[in-house]
A and B are shown apart, each in its own frame.
Chain A
């Protein structure tokens, strides 16, 4: 079946936000998202001849993003061995100062909970709750059964809520203790 060679420029315009969000789902730290997104589209440009038009461009980009995210995580582990990585979590620039601190704490907690989750569960959880994708869309994107999406999501949510609660309780106790 004839198909047009993928135009990376238009793919970037259409799917930039999706790829950006995907990097979070795949556990790429905030400070490395810029580079990771860039890598995804550079790889897409290099492999554009392989794209046969059968799958949606988004699914194809997601496949590339997975590989890129894996490399970034690996690189991050290496950096952690060599020295501490700078804290890259940043609050939204529009938030007022008092909210920023609370946001920063929340973001840090969410990041830690997500980092502790199983990779497959995290992927489904972030695509659902951060990217706002539906279960059938995720199933098509990841090439898995719909029931598998539901099952992973159920486990992920249970774990996320439990861990977040526990972390807040623990940190609240720690703060109270320090104040006393």
Chain B
């Protein structure tokens, strides 16, 4: 089953997992720019995205998915320019 993911839905999910305002999550957001995105929050983001979009990340890629842009690329979501 493949589902179409919109960039905005992805940001919604990330914001909810991080428990931050939706407006603070943009294409440029990452664990480096947002102090709430710590290692525990990262786990929440990964689990929320997996559940919401029916994907399963490999252990090796988990650390590198700590930015909106990387998650979008991994899900094949076009990032608005």
Task: Please indicate whether A and B come from the same complex rather than being unrelated chains.
Answer: no
Residues of chain A at the chain B interface (Cβ within 8 Å): none
Residues of chain B at the chain A interface (Cβ within 8 Å): none
